[in-house]
């Protein structure tokens, strides 16, 4: 069964640590602003040292990152952990974590942080939340899609919540842009799409993350999907979700083929793909071509250009939760239930 963390309450303490990348000094103001917004809303915040440093593609040596994460996870006064943002090489700390002793605690983030989210859920059966990172909470107002993260973290076992597709999304990043009214500059019309251009309704246990990083867990103890299904979700089908940050269309397709051939998709109800600034065409081969070929091979529903990943805003998707997703007329809805 899936174990869910206790609901986060106003007055609780949120821990900030950087298991992947820290924040360079010239962007420290983003951390201060985000912390101020959380404190204004009634939370306490404890910031770890790794948050403030960055060298050789990581916040600190792997031992220090793992140690600080462990300390925050074991600290009973910290109810949730939100890293500042993603990064590149979080995977190197995984062997330093004893997943057998982890107790449920909310962990929220995306990009390379999803490497940790994925591993915690697959190895320990603990629900984790793929959604906004800390620095994107620095505005006085949170857009309607992003703000749902707090509703999700406040849910109890047995409760459910519905999220709807955004109206508009952000097409490019500018961390120097003033956050008015939102951090994100939402200018482009959101349009969910499906392979075959047909309405879909699909349900299953959510699992996924940033394809660029979680794909490297395939063949490791942190990507043992068969054991996860047998041990924690009673062989229920997985509703996969993936977002892509840097792959070309052929990188994307090769990676999907690898996961398919490794057995990740053997008991799958459907796959959702987030919007991406990447997946560039190679000759005349596109990311849509890759998804069409996968759909033909697996014969399952596939939707794309969804509300998660590196083109925000994004849904908060809980690994391990039971979900029903409907996509029709370019819009989508997600009903997510905290089912053990």
- Chain-centre distance of CA 225, in angstroms? 17
* Torsions phi, psi for 304 (to 5 deg): -145, 175
Q: Which position among 114, 119, 165, 243 bears the catalytic label?
A: 243
DSSP code, position 296: H
* Dihedral sign computed on CA atoms, order 90, 91, 96, 101: positive
What would you report as the CA-atom Rg of the chain, rounded to the nearest whole angstrom? 19
| Residues 63, 312: Cα–Cα separation, whole Å | 32
Q: Which position among 20, 21, 59, 111 bears the catalytic label?
A: 111
Q: Is 147 a catalytic residue?
A: no
On whether the CB atoms of residues 142 and 41 are closer than 8 A, the answer is no
Q: Is 32 a catalytic residue?
A: no
Reference 13, options 71, 77, 74, 72; nearest CA is 77
Mapping DSSP to helix (H, G, I), strand (E, B) and coil, where does residue 291 land? helix
The C-alpha angle 331, 189, 193, rounded to 5 degrees, equals: 40
| Residues 198, 180: Cα–Cα separation, whole Å | 37
Residue 297 has a CB neighbour count (10 Å cut-off) of 12
Q: Is 172 a catalytic residue?
A: no
What is the token pair recorded at 157?
Answer: 């076992």
DSSP secondary structure letters along 253-287: HHHHHHHHHTTTTTTEEEEEEE--S--B-BTTB-H
Give the list of residues 6+ apart from residue 167 with CB closer than 8 angstroms, or none. 186, 189, 190
Q: Which contiguous run of DSSP H or E holds residue 138?
A: none
What is the token pair recorded at 251?
Answer: 């990188």
| Residues 267, 239: Cα–Cα separation, whole Å | 9
On whether the CB atoms of residues 183 and 136 are closer than 8 A, the answer is yes
Which residues are tagged catalytic? Answer: 111, 243, 310
């Amino acid at each position: 069964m899936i174990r869910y963390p206790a609901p986060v309450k106003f007055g609780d303490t949120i821990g900030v640590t950087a298991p992947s990348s820290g924040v360079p000094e010239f962007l420290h103001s983003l951390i201060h602003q985000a912390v101020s917004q959380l404190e204004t809303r009634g939370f306490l915040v404890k910031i770890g040292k790794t948050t403030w440093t960055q060298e050789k593609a990581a916040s600190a040596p792997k031992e220090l990152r793992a140690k600080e994460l462990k300390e925050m996870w074991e600290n009973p006064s910290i109810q949730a952990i939100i890293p500042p943002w993603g990064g590149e090489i979080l995977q190197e700390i995984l062997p330093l974590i004893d997943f057998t002793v982890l107790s449920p605690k909310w962990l929220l983030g995306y990009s390379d942080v999803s490497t940790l989210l994925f591993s915690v859920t697959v190895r320990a059966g603990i629900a984790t939340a793929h959604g906004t990172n800390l620095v994107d909470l620095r505005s006085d107002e949170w857009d309607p899609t992003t703000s749902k993260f707090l509703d999700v973290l406040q849910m109890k076992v047995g409760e459910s919540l519905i999220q709807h597709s955004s109206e508009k999304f952000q097409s490019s990043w500018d961390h120097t842009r003033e956050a008015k009214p939102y951090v994100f500059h939402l200018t482009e019309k959101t349009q969910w799409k499906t392979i075959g251009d047909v309405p879909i309704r699909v349900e299953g246990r959510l699992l996924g993350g940033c394809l660029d990083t979680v794909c490297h867990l395939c063949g490791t103890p942190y990507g043992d999907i068969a054991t996860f299904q047998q041990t924690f979700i009673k062989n229920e089908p997985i509703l996969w979700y993936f977002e892509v940050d840097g792959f070309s269309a052929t990188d994307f397709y090769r990676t999907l083929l690898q996961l398919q051939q490794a057995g990740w998709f053997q008991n799958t109800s459907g796959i959702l793909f987030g919007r991406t600034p990447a997946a560039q065409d190679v000759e005349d081969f596109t990311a849509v071509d890759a998804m069409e070929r996968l759909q033909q091979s697996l014969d399952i529903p596939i939707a794309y250009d969804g509300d998660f990943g590196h083109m925000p805003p994004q849904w908060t998707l809980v690994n391990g939760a039971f979900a029903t997703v409907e996509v029709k007329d370019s819009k989508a809805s997600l009903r997510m239930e905290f089912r053990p």
